[in-house]
Structure 1
Amino acid sequence: MASGRRVTIGQPRPDQPPLAVRFTTPAAERGILLDPELKLGQAYMDGTLVMEEGSVTDLLALLMAQPAACTSTTTVSAKLLFWGRKLLRRIDQFNPRGRSQRNVAHHYDIDGRLYSLFLDADRQYSCAYFEHPGQSLDDAQLAKKRHIAAKLMLEREDLAVLDIGAGWGGLGLYLAQMAKAKVTGVTLSKEQLALARQRAEDGGLADRVAFRLQDYRDIPETFDRIVSVGMFEHVGVDHYGEFFRKVRALLKEDGVMVLHAIGRSDPPGVTNPFIAKYIFPGGYIPALSEVLPHIERAGLVVTDIELLRLHYAETLKAWRERFRARWDEAVRLTDERFCRMWEFYLAGSEMGFRHQGLNVFHIQIARKQEAVPLTRGYIEEEEARLRRVEARQSLPLRLAGE
């Protein structure tokens, strides 16, 4: 404790090394007692909570694996904070065009070199797809793109594909190169847009891929296929109906969409306050029960749902280990406080997927139910075809970390 008093909690276990935490101020102790979801991360960021033995990842793994940690209503103060935040969540997640762009800029328009320290070479900033234990992050991210492409059914060349939330362009470039699709990618990040366009030029794919700085609500064309990876978490609960109505308007009559997004296994809740304040303002992880009614009301058909349960936990573990390995470089780009914030974000997110019911869902959507084959065998067949295409082609794309 800040006073110098030592408190020991629990019994030692031979398979679990002890953890030692030191508080440097009484204010940090009070804050964590009253609002642990926000103040624990803040204290670690500010250096008022110091790990003397073990890491903050070890601490979060221990805390978040406790049965009581799976609910936000274990104490009176926690109940009050939870319901207060739930009452305000529609205000916090109200994301008109201008606010959406500011929220995106908060997270993505930082020094791009930071992302190159821990992401794969293609800079895929979303859940990878681990086909077998021990698969490398780069191979798992390639498998993710292949898995999504298979569900989009791109056997015919020159299909028009829209990528909503195109990031640094990796998925769109893959679809253009491996499936010969005509891709339009939209993003609200100027940093991401510049690199995505440069990568298309460097890869000789500028005639097949067009990246735009554009809100999805302002897209005028229609498309054979739509994909969105890691963007839906930023839409906001008040805008789900608007999102899927726009998807229906954008899809051609026989069109298909694949939505890849983080979800929760428990009932609707609130965004973790640390994540909302420091990492993803305006973001929210929905339950399927919050999403499916809007798809139905938009006149769309759900043709397939797949839950990628622990894939994101393994992805975040890889990111966290890479970030820790290049800590000194990250500090030179930012500062110690920022790096502690980022480490807490990666570690806390990983443990959320391991212990607290977070997962990733793939929802395949169509305007007509006959747009997709009767059985799921086509996914594996298309993945095999794409592997053969990958083997025949070199990948001349500029690495996203360069």
Structure 2
Amino acid sequence: MWTTILNRMLAQLIRRGTLILHFPDGTTHRHGNGNRPAVTVRLTDPAVIARLVRNPDLALGEAYVAGHLTIDADDLRGLLALVIANTKGGGPLVWWRRIQDAVRVMLRGAAQFNSANRSAANVEHHYDLSGALYDLFLDADRQYSCGYFIQPDDTLEQAQQQKKAHIAAKLCLQPGMTVLDIGSGWGGMALTLARDYGAKVLGVTLSQEQYKRSMQRAAEAGLSDRVSFQLMDYRHLTGTFDRIVSVGMFEHVGVPHYPAYFAQVRNLLGPDGIALIHTIGRAAPPSSTNPWIAKYIFPGGYVPALSEIAVAMEKSGLWPTDIEVWRLHYAMTLAHWLQRFDANIEKIRAIYDDRFCRMWRYYLIASEMTFREGRQCVFQIQLARRQDAVPLTRDYITETSRPDLLHKQRWNEAAQ
């Protein structure tokens, strides 16, 4: 029965490309139009079939990680690209997908009710893993967010440095300014703003491991007098700051807490202040978090639609002075991370085990394919208390973050 239902579901879903599915009983079924890309999948456990019918988004990842679903040539990227291509945009949204999506959206408020205690537990689940793991696939500065690729062949280090310079330009920093870094990670952004721009920075994080590493890095860099870190929830902060930056943290806030988040940003921002919020977003209407990601990778996490952010942002009284959309930058970042992860997979397997490696490969590849084939992107939202807090045009961003390009442009204009 379950085999018949699964094949009917796939017949409705897979319209482009080809999926060749081998069942445990030895039967084979083809779905799609026979064109490339073609992916061959083998199910080795009969129990997986029922789970794929009941909750395919969760069961697919679980079956791959457990080894109960294998792909010829281990072409996980090809399989996920095929599935996403057939579910995005003009793909058919069949009845069973409508029901599952509706239920998840209805229940997402409870899933994203991230109190201070729950937020700390969510952070511990992901960010307090072994520090050696992150050293093996991130850049030396441990930037665990989207890089900014000015050229497609930029290295990961270049892209992450360019990301920080781009953000610093939007903050319009002057030496001596006070900066709050909400969700400061391993301290790279805070240290850069202090060292290269003369700012005095406070970083806050809920991760014990990130806090310890950040404090160590500040001391080793001789910047402890200009950079400090606190292990605390941003909701408990008081005082005012000239600038506020938050990179890759908003995804952990949760829709029910958006009004409080933006109200707190406004309360902490000085009268001439500027804030820059960098977050993964969806170029699509509001939805829910993939259940596999929510269970195994980012509990309590959610990728917001711009419309959801806008509602809370508008009520805060802050001015949206710039909104920029990065499209393929995160797909490129994730490809670099996966390459480094695979290159060091034996070292990672020694820290954890083979199941962990399969789980994280699934996470990295699924994320890349969602940015490359799906509707995910990155939003950079610049906010201010005053509408004239930033220059009238965006030229100042290029001038600050890419002076080499601006110089060439002016030289060419003068030559003409």
TM-score between both structures, scaled by the size of structure 1: 0.92
Say whether the 8 Å CA contact 1:72–1:78 is kept in structure 2.
no
Q: C-alpha displacement at 1:9, in angstroms?
A: 3.7
Give 1:29's aligned amino acid: I
Q: C-alpha displacement at 1:293, in angstroms?
A: 1.9
Say whether the 8 Å CA contact 1:72–1:79 is kept in structure 2.
no
Count how many residue pairs are aligned between Structure 1 and Structure 2: 384
Q: Residue 147 of structure 1 aligns with which residue? A: 166
Whole-Å Cα distance in 2 between the matches of residues 77 and 235 of structure 1?
29
Say whether the 8 Å CA contact 1:263–1:359 is kept in structure 2.
yes
Give 2:108's aligned amino acid: R
Q: Residue 250 of structure 1 aligns with which residue? A: 268
Q: Residue 203 of structure 2 aligns with which residue? A: 185
Whole-Å Cα distance in 2 between the matches of residues 315 and 31 of structure 1?
32
1:221 maps to 2:221: no
Q: Residue 21 of structure 1 aligns with which residue? A: 41
What CA deviation, in whole Å up to 9, does each residue of 1:214-235 have, x standing for no partner?
1101111210000000000000
Q: C-alpha displacement at 1:328, in angstroms?
A: 1.2
Q: Residue 393 of structure 1 aligns with which residue? A: none
For residue 87 of structure 1, the aligned residue among 106, 110, 133 is 106
Say whether the 8 Å CA contact 2:284–2:305 is kept in structure 1.
yes
SS in 2 for 1:370: coil
1:382 maps to 2:404: no
The correspondence of residues 253-292 of structure 1 with structure 2, limited to 5 A, is 253-292=271-310
The correspondence of residues 102-117 of structure 1 with structure 2, limited to 5 A, is 102-117=121-136
What CA deviation, in whole Å up to 9, does each residue of 1:74-109 have, x standing for no partner?
233322221111111000000110001000111101
Say whether the 8 Å CA contact 1:35–1:78 is kept in structure 2.
no
Whole-Å Cα distance in 1 between the matches of residues 61 and 388 of structure 2?
48
Whole-Å Cα distance in 1 between the matches of residues 156 and 111 of structure 2?
33
What CA deviation, in whole Å up to 9, does each residue of 1:188-243 have, x standing for no partner?
00000000110001111111100110110111121000000000000010000000
SS in 1 for 2:242: strand
Say whether the 8 Å CA contact 1:73–1:82 is kept in structure 2.
no
Give 1:146's aligned amino acid: A
Structure 1 stretches of 4+ with a deviation exceeding 4 A read 10-13, 69-73
**1:262–1:72 distance in 2 versus 1, CA, 3 Å:** farther
SS in 1 for 2:392: coil
For residue 233 of structure 1, the aligned residue among 251, 255, 260 is 251
**1:295–1:69 distance in 2 versus 1, CA, 3 Å:** closer
Q: Residue 28 of structure 2 aligns with which residue? A: 6
Say whether the 8 Å CA contact 1:152–1:258 is kept in structure 2.
yes
Q: C-alpha displacement at 1:6, in angstroms?
A: 2.4
What CA deviation, in whole Å up to 9, does each residue of 1:378-397 have, x standing for no partner?
1111114699xxxxxxxxxx
Segments of structure 2 that go 5 or more residues without pairing to the other structure are: 1-22, 406-416
What CA deviation, in whole Å up to 9, does each residue of 1:328-365 have, x standing for no partner?
11111111111111111111111111121100000000
**1:343–1:71 distance in 2 versus 1, CA, 3 Å:** farther
Segments of structure 1 that go 5 or more residues without pairing to the other structure are: 388-402
The correspondence of residues 117-196 of structure 1 with structure 2, limited to 5 A, is 117-154=136-173, 156-196=174-214
Q: Residue 400 of structure 1 aligns with which residue? A: none
Whole-Å Cα distance in 2 between the matches of residues 103 and 384 of structure 1?
37
Highest relative contact order (Cα 8 Å, sep 6+), 1 or 2? 1
Of the structure 1 ranges 27-36 and 216-225, higher mean CA displacement relative to structure 2 is found in: 27-36
For residue 357 of structure 1, the aligned residue among 364, 375, 381 is 375
Say whether the 8 Å CA contact 1:146–1:386 is kept in structure 2.
no
Say whether the 8 Å CA contact 1:86–1:269 is kept in structure 2.
yes
Q: C-alpha displacement at 1:11, in angstroms?
A: 6.3
Whole-Å Cα distance in 2 between the matches of residues 268 and 306 of structure 1?
19
Say whether the 8 Å CA contact 2:24–2:45 is kept in structure 1.
yes
Give 2:164's aligned amino acid: K
TM-score between both structures, scaled by the size of structure 2: 0.89
Whole-Å Cα distance in 2 between the matches of residues 89 and 254 of structure 1?
36
Say whether the 8 Å CA contact 1:18–1:54 is kept in structure 2.
no
Whole-Å Cα distance in 2 between the matches of residues 386 and 241 of structure 1?
40
1:372 maps to 2:394: no
1:328 maps to 2:328: no
Whole-Å Cα distance in 2 between the matches of residues 266 and 242 of structure 1?
24
What's the C-alpha RMSD, in Å, of the aligned pairs? 1.8
Give 1:31's aligned amino acid: R
Q: Residue 210 of structure 1 aligns with which residue? A: 228
Give 2:297's aligned amino acid: I
Give 1:62's aligned amino acid: L
Identity percentage over the alignment? 51
Whole-Å Cα distance in 1 between the matches of residues 102 and 267 of structure 2?
36
